């Protein structure tokens, strides 16, 4: 097994240049901010990074930059967000020389898939991946939710190391987390609103997109959970919920743009999106600035 899955894991976003290529200088700046603030790992090429819109070559450049800046301080997940099993297998092999600690893959997408198809998908990926595989449940993007029974069955497949659950369904997470599965299989919460609840339940692994904006409160929350300080955990979640209010300035389809805008406010990203129409308007960005400046003053 590779490095232990534990702690606060930012799903690092992809800053873009004017021609909408990865801005590796700003990416390095963002990586250093997160790493030096105490992040335990990085998810690279995921949903927050617009991973489904990145080419394999772009993902390679992004991963190399994060790995170089991290300098071994964090474990590294690399997402292969492709719609079909053969495409994911191909991308895994195209990127395996980068030596991530884990590969991450969503369920097959572009139309709902049944549980047998999902199980077959992950069983194949696990057999092909040179490093442990993380399941990624995000039905809001894939239209193919996993059941608890499917996850528990896959938890016993060789080379499957855990699940990142971004379903937002805490009943799903809590039921699965409390079930019987191999001790080296990890349940990772992937919904910022549920981090405190998951930590108080007992998980010790959270992936955060919002942490790109301000990671310090996540580190404080994780430390409080480690120390058994439930009140501090809840206090940190309340603060993070205030930061999350930047999502309210725009339609739900532009949440990633709000994350970029929030990170740009601190000088660690640009506001550009790969799909230009998904960027925040100047008026929306002004609202993000107002919220964040108010929080900093408060």
- pTM, two decimals, is 0.96
Report pLDDT digits (tens) over 19-61.
Answer: 999 999 999 999 999 999 999 999 999 999 999 999 999 999 9
Report pLDDT digits (tens) over 145-198.
Answer: 999 999 999 999 999 999 999 999 999 999 999 999 999 999 999 999 999 999
CB atoms near residue 187 (< 10 Å): 24
State how many domains the chain has.
1
| Residue 180 forms part of a structural domain | yes
| Residue 206 forms part of a structural domain | yes
Q: Phi/psi at 130 (nearest 5 deg)?
A: -80, -10
| Residue 242 forms part of a structural domain | no
Q: What is the CATH number of the domain that holds 220?
A: 3.20.20.70
Q: In what order do the strands lie in the sheet with 7-10?
A: 7-10, 205-208, 186-189, 160-165, 133-137, 102-106, 75-79, 41-44
| Residue 233 forms part of a structural domain | no
Report pLDDT digits (tens) over 187-212.
Answer: 999 999 999 999 999 999 999 999 99
Structural domain for 59, as ranges = 7-228
Alpha-carbon Rg of the chain, whole angstroms? 18
| Residue 65 forms part of a structural domain | yes
| Residue 190 forms part of a structural domain | yes
| Residue 261 forms part of a structural domain | no
| Residue 248 forms part of a structural domain | no
């Amino acid at each position: 097994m590779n490095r232990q899955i534990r702690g606060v894991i930012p799903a690092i976003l992809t800053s873009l240049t004017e021609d909408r290529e990865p801005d590796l200088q700003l990416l390095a700046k963002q990586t250093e901010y997160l790493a030096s603030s105490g992040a335990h790992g990085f998810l690279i090429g995921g949903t927050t990074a617009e991973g489904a819109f990145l080419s394999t070559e772009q993902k390679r450049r992004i991963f190399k930059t994060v790995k170089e800046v991290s300098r071994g301080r964090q474990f590294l997940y690399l997402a292969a967000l492709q719609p079909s099993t053969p495409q994911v297998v191909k991308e895994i092999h195209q990127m395996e020389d980068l030596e991530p600690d884990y590969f991450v893959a969503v369920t097959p997408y572009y139309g709902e898939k049944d549980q047998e198809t999902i199980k077959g998908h992950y069983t194949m990926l696990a057999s092909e991946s040179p490093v442990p595989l993380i399941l990624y449940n995000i039905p809001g993007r894939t239209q193919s939710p996993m059941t608890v029974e499917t996850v528990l069955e896959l938890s016993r497949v060789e080379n499957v190391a855990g699940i990142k659950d971004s379903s937002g369904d805490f009943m799903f997470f809590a039921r699965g987390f409390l079930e019987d599965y191999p001790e080296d299989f990890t349940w990772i919460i992937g919904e910022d609103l549920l981090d405190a609840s998951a930590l108080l339940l007992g998980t010790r692994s959270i992936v955060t997109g919002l942490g790109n904006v301000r990671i310090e409160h996540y580190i404080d929350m994780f430390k409080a959970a480690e120390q058994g300080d439930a009140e501090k955990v809840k206090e940190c979640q309340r603060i993070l919920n205030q930061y999350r209010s930047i999502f309210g300035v725009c339609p739900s389809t532009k949440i990633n743009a709000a994350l970029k805008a929030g990170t740009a406010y601190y000088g660690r990203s640009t506001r550009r999106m790969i799909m230009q129409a998904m960027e925040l308007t100047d008026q929306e960005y002004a609202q993000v600035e107002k919220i964040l400046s108010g929080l900093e003053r408060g």
